[in-house]
A and B are shown apart, each in its own frame.
Chain A
Amino acid sequence: MNSKTMTPMQRVLTTLSHNEPDRVPLFLLLTMHGAKELGMSIKEYFSKSEHVVEGQIRLQEKYNNDCYYSFFYAPIEIEAFGGEVIFSEDGPPNSGQPFILDIEKISKLEPPEINESKMLFRVLETTSKLKEKAGSDIPIIGVVVSPFSLPVMQMGFGKYLEIMHFRKDLFDRLMQVNETFCVNWANAQLEAGATAICYFDPVSSSTIITREQYLETGFKIARRTISRIKGPTATHFASGNCLPIADLLPQTGTAVAGISSKEELAQLKQAFRNKLTVLGNLNGIEMRRWTTEQTRSIVREAIETAAPGGGFILSDNHGEIPFQVPDEVLKNISETVLEYGRYPIKSHHGV
C-alpha cells in the first residue's frame, strides 16, 4: 500500500515488481482517438508525428492514462517491407493484399532497414517527442509485431499455416528475416525513448495454435527475440487465449501478459501471480455500447479480481480500443479506476 500519489512511471514500476502502488495503473491503449481529439481523419492524423504526439498528450491528460502509446497501426511494418496499407475512415489502417504471393520468394527476402522507412521514422520521431514531454514520469509503450505473427500480413494466414506445417525450410528462413527486423525495430524504438515494447504475438495464442506447436515455434522464437530486445517487453495476444501456455510465458523473458476477456481473469491472475503482470482484460468490442452502470460494474469487478498484490494493469483485451468507443465510456472507465482502484483493494475472490 502507498498513500502518496505516484507518477504513472512509479505506479507502473511498482505493479511490475508485484507490489501495490497508490492505485491500479490504467493503460487505455488508444490510437485513433487522437484523430478525433484533433478533429481530423485517421489518415491525416498518422501523416505527421506532431499530430500523434499532440493526440497522445491530450488523451493521457483527459483520461489520467498511465502511459503514452506510440503505436500507429500494425501494418506499418508491412509498409516497411514494401507492402500495401489501406486506410479507413472509421477503423485502423489494414494490410492490403499480402506481398508474398509466391512462397519460393521467401528464400530471397531481406529484412528492411529501419532508417530507410519513412513511416517507421515517423514513429521514432513521435517517440522522441513524447519522451521530451514524458521525462521519467510517464512510460512510453512502443510496439512490434512478433516475427512469428507478422507473416499473417506478409503472406496471408492460410499460406503461412501451410509453410509452418509443410515447408520448414521456408518457415525457418522467414523467421530469420522477421527476427532480425523485429529486434532492430524494437531497439530503435527503445533508443528513441520508448520505456517498454509491447510484443504482439496473436498467432502464439492458444486460440490459434496448440501448446505443442507453441513449444516448437512461437515459444522458441519469442525467447530468441525477446532476449535481444534491449528493454522490458510485454507480450500481447490481441484477444487470443493464453491460459494453456501460462507456465511457459515467463520463460520467454517477457514481464507482462496481455490477456483476453474470453478467459477467466481470476484463473489467469492465479497462474501469473508473482511471475508476470496481467494486462487486460476489458472487452473492447462490447465496450462501444456499455452504459455507465455496466462500465462501473465491469471495471470494478476486474480491479477486485486482479489488482490485490499488484502485478495488474487495467487495459482492454486487444491492445487497441476501437474508434467507435465513445469518450463517455472511456471517461467512465477512468473515473471508476480513480474511485475503486486505490490501494488497499479487497479481493472478493480470495486469490
Chain B
Amino acid sequence: MEKLAFFSNQLERAFLTLDKEEAEKILSKALRSGSPVEIAGELVSLTLNRIGAAWEEGRVALSQVYMSGMICEELIEKILPPQSPDRKSQPKMAIAVFEDYHMLGKRIIFSTLRSSGYDLLDLGGGLHTDQLIEIVHKEKIKILLLSVLMLPSALHVKELKQKLKGTGVKIVVGGAPFRFDENLWKEVGADAFGKDPAQAIQIVSQMMEELK
C-alpha cells in the first residue's frame, strides 16, 4: 500500500509536468512488483483519480487532466495491449459525444477508463438518439457513457432513455450542463452522473458489479 502511494505520488508529478519519459520509468519500476493488470487497475487509476479530484477542487487545470490521460493511455497500451487476456472481462460499454463534436471530456474519460484496464468502444461525436439506439442494439452495449456540452443535448437524453426503456441499458452522463445543474441528470432519467474521471471510474466499477 505504501509502495502504491509512493509510486502514485511520483507518477502524478510526472503526468502534471507532462514528463512522459519519467512516467514510463516509474511504471516500469512499478511493473517489477506486480502484474500489468494490477498496475493498470490500481496505480494508474489511483493516480488519475487523484488528478481528476484535484481538478474538481481547482488545484489543477483541465488541460493537465487531459494530457495526463493521453500520456497514461499511451503507456498502458504498451504494457496492456487492447487484446491482452489480462484486460478486465466485463459487460460491453461504449462512450460517445451526444449531438456535437466537442470531444475533450469524452477523450479524458475514455483514457481514464482504458488506463484503468476497462475496454470500451469509442463511438465518436455528433451522434443523435436514433443513431445511438441502432449502435446500442447492434453492439449489445450494456453501459452507455454520454458526454454533453450543450443544454439542449442534455435535455434530449430524456428521449434516448425513454426509447431504451426495457433494454436494461444503463446511461451515465457527464459534461458542463450537468455540472452547472446537479439535478439535471435525474430530470432526464440518466442512471448516473459522473462529475469527473474519478467518479466515472467509481460509477462504472459499481455498475459492472451489478451487471455481473
A158 to B102, CA, bound (A): 9
Range class of the B interface residue count: 20 to 34
Q: B103 in the interface, Cβ–Cβ < 8 Å?
A: yes
Q: B2 in the interface, Cβ–Cβ < 8 Å?
A: no
A209 to B99, CA, bound (A): 26
Q: Do B104 and A157 have beta carbons less than 8 Å apart?
A: yes
A158 to B176, CA, bound (A): 17
Rounded to whole Å, the gap between the CB of A86 and the closest CB of chain B is: 8
Q: Interface readout for A203-214 with B: 1 if CB under 8 Å, 0 if not? A: 000111110010
Q: B67 in the interface, Cβ–Cβ < 8 Å?
A: yes
A-contacting residues, B184-199, CB 8 Å: 184
Q: Do A210 and B60 have beta carbons less than 8 Å apart?
A: yes
Q: Given the interface contacts A152-B102, A156-B103, does A209 sit within 8 Å of B61 by beta carbon?
A: yes
Q: Do A88 and B152 have beta carbons less than 8 Å apart?
A: yes
A86 to B61, CA, bound (A): 29
Residues of A within 8 A of B67 (CB): 161-162, 165
Q: Do A164 and B180 have beta carbons less than 8 Å apart?
A: no
Q: Do B152 and A90 have beta carbons less than 8 Å apart?
A: yes
Q: Interface readout for A157-197 with B: 1 if CB under 8 Å, 0 if not? A: 11001101100000000000000000000000000000000
Q: Given the interface contacts A157-B104, A158-B104, does A288 sit within 8 Å of B151 by beta carbon?
A: yes
Q: A15 in the interface, Cβ–Cβ < 8 Å?
A: no
Q: Interface readout for B165-197 with A: 1 if CB under 8 Å, 0 if not? A: 000000000001100110010000000000000
Q: A233 in the interface, Cβ–Cβ < 8 Å?
A: no
Q: Do A261 and B180 have beta carbons less than 8 Å apart?
A: yes
Rounded to whole Å, the gap between the CB of B99 and the closest CB of chain A is: 8
Q: Do B126 and A97 have beta carbons less than 8 Å apart?
A: yes
Q: Do B152 and A324 have beta carbons less than 8 Å apart?
A: yes
Rounded to whole Å, the gap between the CB of B147 and the closest CB of chain A is: 12
Q: B66 in the interface, Cβ–Cβ < 8 Å?
A: yes
Total number of residue pairs linking A and B with CB closer than 8 Å: 87
Residues of A within 8 A of B184 (CB): 285
A322 to B61, CA, bound (A): 26
Residues of B within 8 A of A213 (CB): 61, 63
Q: Do B102 and A157 have beta carbons less than 8 Å apart?
A: yes
Q: B129 in the interface, Cβ–Cβ < 8 Å?
A: no
Q: B31 in the interface, Cβ–Cβ < 8 Å?
A: no
Q: Which residue of B has the minimal Cβ distance to A260? A: B180
Q: A98 in the interface, Cβ–Cβ < 8 Å?
A: yes
Q: B161 in the interface, Cβ–Cβ < 8 Å?
A: no
A324 to B177, CA, bound (A): 13
Q: Do B63 and A164 have beta carbons less than 8 Å apart?
A: yes
A-contacting residues, B12-40, CB 8 Å: 18
Residues of B within 8 A of A283 (CB): 180-181
Q: Interface readout for A311-344 with B: 1 if CB under 8 Å, 0 if not? A: 0000000000011100000000000000000000
- SS class of chain B's interface: helix, strand, loop or mixed? helix
Residues of A within 8 A of B70 (CB): 158, 162
A45 to B150, CA, bound (A): 20
Residues of A within 8 A of B58 (CB): 206, 241, 244
**Which of A95, A98, A161, A213: most chain B CB closer than 10 A?**
A161
Q: Interface readout for A282-297 with B: 1 if CB under 8 Å, 0 if not? A: 0111101000000000
Q: Do A161 and B150 have beta carbons less than 8 Å apart?
A: no
Q: Do A239 and B180 have beta carbons less than 8 Å apart?
A: yes
Q: Do A94 and B101 have beta carbons less than 8 Å apart?
A: yes
A343 to B18, CA, bound (A): 51
A152 to B104, CA, bound (A): 9
Q: Do B152 and A323 have beta carbons less than 8 Å apart?
A: yes
Q: A91 in the interface, Cβ–Cβ < 8 Å?
A: yes
Selected from B61, B150, B181, the residue in CB contact (under 8 A) with A206 is B61
Rounded to whole Å, the gap between the CB of B26 and the closest CB of chain A is: 20
Rounded to whole Å, the gap between the CB of A94 and the closest CB of chain B is: 5
Q: B107 in the interface, Cβ–Cβ < 8 Å?
A: yes
Q: Do A161 and B63 have beta carbons less than 8 Å apart?
A: yes
Q: B203 in the interface, Cβ–Cβ < 8 Å?
A: no
Residues of B within 8 A of A94 (CB): 99-101, 150
Q: Which residue of B has the minimal Cβ distance to A97? A: B101
Q: Interface readout for B65-103 with A: 1 if CB under 8 Å, 0 if not? A: 011001000000000000000000000000000011111
Rounded to whole Å, the gap between the CB of A85 and the closest CB of chain B is: 11
Q: Do B153 and A91 have beta carbons less than 8 Å apart?
A: yes
Chain B interfacial positions (CB closer than 8 Å to A): 18, 58, 60-64, 66-67, 70, 99-104, 107, 126, 150-153, 155, 176-177, 180-181, 184
Some 29 contacts from A to B, beta carbons below 8 A apart, are A86-B100, A88-B99, A90-B152, A91-B151, A92-B150, A94-B100, A96-B101, A152-B102, A156-B104, A157-B104, A158-B70, A158-B104, A161-B63, A161-B67, A161-B104, A165-B18, A206-B58, A206-B61, A208-B61, A208-B62, A208-B63, A209-B63, A210-B61, A210-B64, A213-B61, A261-B180, A285-B177, A286-B181, A324-B152
Chain A interfacial positions (CB closer than 8 Å to B): 86, 88, 90-92, 94-98, 152, 156-158, 161-162, 164-165, 206-210, 213, 239, 241, 244, 261-262, 283-286, 288, 322-324
Sample of 6 more A-B contacts, CB < 8 Å, known A96-B101, A156-B103, A324-B151: A88-B150, A90-B155, A152-B102, A158-B107, A210-B61, A286-B180
